[in-house]
């Protein structure tokens, strides 16, 4: 159990570092901005209690908010992401028979499940985050295009990291 805590603590620090120092100023035509830090929430083990999941999501969001100077924006979006994660996993994991799997990684769950998981959760996170940032329906087309393009960019980075850093494990 302590190994899992250490791995997730290291993952938290590395993802916040990458987001703040590498990806903060990367934007393509002011439409696509990667929010790679959400990978921490996506990769938390299945057995993490929901209360701890929400607390960790809130702390992650507040940490990003401290560096982005956006009080509460990322924290609220991360809590929404945690809620959608709980709902998605409760719907798909028991139905698909992944009950004995330790965590939702690309190598363990397979490409199709992980891609669907990452895409849906990223879309929810970005939709909530970017709509809360704009807080107006006057530019809904621009906001929706930002949501879609930022989500695609983020999911692309998540899949690349999954292919690079996780070794293949066969499910039983």
Query: Confidence band (pLDDT; 50, 70, 90) for 101?
Result: low
Give the closest residue to 63 by CA, choosing from 23, 19, 26, 25. 19
Residue 171, in any domain of the structure = no
Report yes or no on 170 lying in a domain: no
DSSP state of 44: S
Is the residue at 19 inside a domain? yes
Q: Domain span at residue 115?
A: 2-165
- This prediction has a pTM of 0.87
For residue 28, list its beta bridge partners: 32
CA distances from 143 to 8, 45, 97, 136 (A): 32, 32, 37, 9
User: For 43-87, how does the pLDDT look when each residue is reduced to its tens digit (9 = 90+)?
Assistant: 898 888 899 999 999 999 999 999 998 888 999 999 999 999 999
Task: Answer whether residue 51 is part of any domain.
Answer: yes
Structural domain tally of the chain?
1
């Amino acid at each position: 159990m302590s190994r899992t805590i250490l791995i997730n603590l290291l993952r938290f620090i590395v993802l916040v570092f990458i987001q703040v120092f590498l990806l903060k100023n990367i934007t393509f035509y002011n439409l696509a901005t990667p929010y790679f830090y959400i990978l921490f929430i996506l990769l938390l083990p299945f057995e993490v209690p929901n209360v701890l999941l929400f607390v960790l999501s809130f702390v992650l969001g507040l940490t990003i908010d401290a560096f982005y100077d956006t009080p509460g924006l990322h924290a609220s979006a991360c809590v929404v992401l945690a809620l959608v994660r709980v709902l998605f996993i409760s719907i798909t994991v028991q139905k698909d028979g992944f009950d004995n799997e330790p965590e939702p990684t690309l190598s363990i769950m397979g490409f199709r499940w992980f891609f669907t998981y990452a895409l849906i959760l990223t879309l929810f996170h970005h939709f909530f985050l970017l709509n809360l940032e704009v807080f107006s329906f006057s530019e809904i087309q621009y906001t929706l295009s930002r949501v879609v393009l930022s989500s695609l960019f983020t999911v692309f980075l998540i899949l690349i990291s999954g292919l690079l850093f996780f070794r293949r494990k066969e499910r039983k």
